[in-house]
Structure 1
Amino acid sequence: MEIQTYGNNVEITPALQNYVQEKVGKVGKHFDQHCQIRVTLKLDKTQHHVDADVTLAGKALHAKADGQTMYAAIDILADKLDQLVIKHKEKKHLHAPVPAPLGDNGA
């Protein structure tokens, strides 16, 4: 899993970088394949915004969160991403083809 962190009107400090890696990295436990997560931190006056794009094989997921502090917004985003990924995996599992039963061809 690859996590890229970008800032828009925000300086990405090592502490913020580590916090994003720690919180968003927990989403990786749901995958057995490679995924890429792009996290953008943004500051608008007094609101802290965090956006994340998760790129999987053939699928892209997006989540955003707002908070009073950047750390609170990252926490909310991590929870949203976790729910999105679980929902995606459940959909994928429900739509998987069911193998045909083995039989003796009606004889």
Structure 2
Amino acid sequence: MNLTISGHHLDVTPALREYVVTKLDRVTRHFDQVVDINVLLTVEKQKEKERRQRAEVTLRVKGKDIFVEQSHEDLYAAIDQLMDKLDRQVCRHKEMLQNHHHESAKRLDLGATT
């Protein structure tokens, strides 16, 4: 698994990097087929009073890319909310892969009438 953590208008400190890695452990615990993770942490400098912190994750698993982004006034809160969203999407993707209760196209009798 390749992990890339980068910052835009922001220096990624070792404490911030460690925080992201510990939060990502929860996601990778659910799904072990993760190929690549790209994390982008951004400080948007629109106005001083509307200064927003944004976190984005692109998680590449076998057969699908999962992209999640979240903005908040506090970067740590944005990371927390982002990991919650990412965890839900990874669990949903895992359930869809393990769902064997759907009918296959070969078994559906679409045009036959008796």
Give runs of ≥4 in structure 1 deviating > 6 Å. Answer: none
Deviations 1:55-86 (A, max 9, x none): 01121101001111110100011101100000
Question: Per the alignment, do residues 68 and 4 of structure 1 end up closer, same or farther by CA in structure 2, a change over 3 Å counting?
Answer: same
Query: Is 1:44 equivalent to 2:44 in the alignment?
Result: yes
CA distance in 2 between partners of 1:35 and 1:11 (Å): 25
Q: Report the count of equivalent residues.
A: 98
How much identity, in percent, do the aligned residues show? 36
Gaps of 5+ in 1: 99-107
Residue 84 of structure 1 aligns with an amino acid whose one-letter code is Q
CA distance in 1 between partners of 2:63 and 2:99 (Å): 17
Task: Answer with 6-15 or 33-42: which moved more.
Answer: 33-42
Query: Is 1:82 equivalent to 2:76 in the alignment?
Result: no
CA distance in 1 between partners of 2:3 and 2:88 (Å): 18
**RMSD (Å) for aligned C-alpha atoms:** 1.8
Residue 69 of structure 1 aligns with an amino acid whose one-letter code is D
Partner secondary structure for residue 60 of structure 2: strand
**1:96 positional shift:** 7.7
When normalised by structure 2's length, the TM-score is: 0.78
